[in-house]
Amino acid sequence: MKFVNIFLSADKHSRPKALSIEEERFLRIFYENKLREVCGAFYFPHKIQATALIYFKRFYLQWSVMEHHPKDIILTCIYTACKIEENHVSAEELGKGISQDHQVILNNEMLVLQSLEFDLIVYAPYRSVEGFINDMEDYFRENDDQLQMLKEAGKAEVDRIMLTDAPLLFPPGQLALAALHQANEMQRVVDFERYLENMLSHQSSFHPFQDLSDNMNAIEMLVRTYKFPSDKDMKNINRKLKSCWGLSTNDDKKREKKSKQKSRHSSAEAQNGSSFT
């Protein structure tokens, strides 16, 4: 009996600890920002970035980061978003641009599509921002540089909102209004509450002003409480994640060395092959 207890105790201590909910969230946040960096490096429009972010967020409603590493999934999300938004970039071009194996992108494509249940149409708030600005021009009878500045500031606020969970909880129109409201708080371009009350009074559906205001406040709260993980956080998370997968630092170094050797071997073969042409 004593032997069994010792065995169970040893097994318990040797078993790797799973990431906490907070640690999983931090890892997703880290790679959502990496996703934005990749889109920025390729000069993709806001719509592609927003679509890829929504794909990424929805994917991890179905999976844990301990099952599929985000660094691989973000690339497939970007690749899929480019195809859906008709701004096609080949997997090879995408992988080459960020020094990643394009085959990883293709290998995960069906997994991502199935996880999204092939529901690939995304309505981002950016177009709604432009629509509300056009409406404000008519309502306030103004068409000046200040409203255009408000539009650009509103789009910048949308960028911040898209990194939170708000896109999974609220419709694009409310996200756009929250972004414009926050931008207007800083610039004081228009009487925003008067505009909202007028807009709601002309809608056929019943949306009380207070309900809309509460939702906008909730969106803004998500932005204010957004927290990016520190380097220390990420170091601890990556160590735990490797432990979950049974990977040690030595394993990583060996795999990296093997990969480099394989890459050099392939390059040598390519050069030798090209010399015969």
Q: Tell me: the pLDDT tens digits for 225-239?
A: 999 999 999 999 998
- Rounded to an integer, what distance in angstroms lies between the CA atom of residue 48 and that of residue 54? 10
Band (pLDDT 50/70/90 cuts) for residue 255 is very low
Tell me: the pLDDT tens digits for 107-146?
Answer: 999 999 999 999 999 999 999 999 999 988 888 877 688 8
Confidence of residue 13 (pLDDT cuts 50, 70, 90): low
16-20, 70-74, 115-119, 226-230: lowest mean pLDDT where?
Answer: 16-20
What is the span of the domain harbouring residue 62?
Answer: 20-115
Q: Provide the token pair at 134.
A: 């056009």
pTM of this structure: 0.80
CB atoms within 10 A of CB 95: 18
Mean pLDDT of the chain: 82
Q: Is residue 70 part of a domain?
A: yes
Whether residue 32 sits in one domain with residue 67: yes
Domain presence at residue 264: no
State whether 34 and 72 are in the same domain.
yes
Q: How many structural domains comprise the chain?
A: 2
Tell me if 274 is assigned to some domain.
Answer: no
Q: Say if 191 falls within a structural domain.
A: yes
Do 52 and 13 touch, CB atoms closer than 8 A?
A: no
Return the pLDDT at 207: 61
Same domain for 129 and 109, yes or no, is: no
Radius of gyration of the chain (CA): 24
Whether residue 8 is contained in a domain is answered as: no
Listed residues 54, 84, 115: the one ending a domain? 115
Q: Are residues 64 and 129 in the same domain?
A: no
Residue 147: count other Cβ atoms within 10 Å of its Cβ: 17
Average pLDDT over residues 20-47: 93
Q: Are residues 31 and 101 in the same domain?
A: yes
Residues 111, 107: Cα–Cα separation, whole Å: 8
Same domain, yes or no: 162 and 198? yes
